[in-house]
Chains A and B, each alone.
Chain A
Amino acid sequence: MNGSTYLRLEVMRNFRNWRFGILAIAFPLVLYFAVASANRHVTFNGTAFPVYFMVAMATLGTMAAVISSAAVIAADRSTGWTRQMRITPLSTRAYFRAKVLNGYLRAMLTIALMSLAGIALGVRLSAGEWLTVAGLLLVGLIPFAVLGILLGHLLSTDASAPAVGGIVTLFALLGGVYGFEVAKSGPVFVIMKGLPSYWLAQAGKTALTGNGWPAEAWIVIAAWTLVLVPLTVLAYRRDTSRV
Chain B
Amino acid sequence: MTSITGGGIVLSQLAKSYGNVHAVRSVDLEIAPGETVALLGPNGAGKTTTIDMMLGLARPDSGSVSLFGMPPARAVAAGVVGGMLQTGSLIEYLSVRELVTMVASVYPRPLAVDEALRLAGAAEFAGRRTTKLSGGQVQRVRFAAALVANPDLLVLDEPTAALDVEGRREFWASMRAVAAQGKTVIFATHYLEEADAYADRIVLLARGRIVADGPATEIKAMAGGKTIRATLPGTEVARLAALPGVRGADRHGDAVVLSANDSDTALRAMLGQFPAARDIEVYGAGLEEAFLELTGDEDHADYEGVNVR
Residues of A at the B interface (CB closer than 8 Å) are 1-3, 5-6, 9-10, 12-14, 16-17, 76, 79-81, 83-91, 94, 240-242
Contacts and interface: CB of A to CB of B under 8 A. Distances in A.
Interface of B: 52, 55-58, 76-79, 81-83, 85, 87-94, 98-99, 101-108, 142, 145, 149
Contacts of B93: 12-14, 16-17
Contacts of A6: 102, 105-106
B105 A240 contact: no
B91 A1 contact: no
Contacts of B94: 9, 12-13, 16
Given A2-B105, A79-B88, A80-B85, A9 B76 contact: no
Contacts of B77: 89, 91
A5 B88 contact: no
Contacts of A240: 56-58
B226 to A, nearest CB: 39
A86 B91 CA distance: 15
Given A80-B88, A86-B76, 12 more contacts: A6-B105, A6-B106, A13-B91, A14-B93, A81-B89, A85-B103, A86-B56, A87-B76, A87-B85, A88-B76, A88-B106, A241-B58
B19 to A, nearest CB: 13
B91 A79 contact: yes
Contact of B87 (A76, A87, A242): A242
B107 A88 contact: yes
Contacts of B58: 240-241
A168 B94 CA distance: 29
Contacts of A9: 94, 98-99, 101-102, 105
Given A12-B98, A13-B93, A88-B149, A83 B57 contact: yes
B133 to A, nearest CB: 13
A215 B217 CA distance: 75
Contact of B91 (A5, A76, A90): A76
A83 B101 CA distance: 18
Contacts of B81: 87
Contacts, number: 91
12 contacts: A1-B108, A5-B102, A6-B106, A9-B98, A12-B98, A13-B91, A13-B92, A79-B90, A80-B87, A83-B88, A87-B57, A88-B76
Contact of B88 (A3, A81, A88, A89): A81
Nearest to B59: A240
A89 B92 contact: no
Nearest to A89: B79
Nearest to B129: A16
Contacts of A241: 57-58
Contacts of B57: 83, 86-87, 240-241
Nearest to A94: B106
B89 A79 contact: yes
Q: Which 6 A-B pairs have the closest CB atoms?
A: A80-B88, A5-B105, A16-B93, A13-B93, A9-B102, A90-B106
Contact of A5 (B52, B78, B101, B108): B101
Nearest to B72: A87
B149 A84 contact: no
Nearest to B18: A241
B89 A80 contact: yes
B98 A84 contact: no
A81 B106 contact: no
Task: Specify which of A12, A85, A87 lies most central, judged by the most chain B CB atoms within 10 Å of its CB.
Answer: A87
A89 B90 contact: no
Given A9-B101, A10-B102, A12-B98, A89 B91 contact: no
Given A17-B93, A89-B77, A94-B106, A83 B149 contact: no
A34 B107 CA distance: 50
Nearest to B77: A89
A14 B83 CA distance: 25
Contacts of B105: 1-3, 5-6, 9
A193 to B, nearest CB: 40
A121 B166 CA distance: 63
B88 A87 contact: no
B91 A81 contact: yes
B270 to A, nearest CB: 49
A97 to B, nearest CB: 12
A87 B91 contact: no
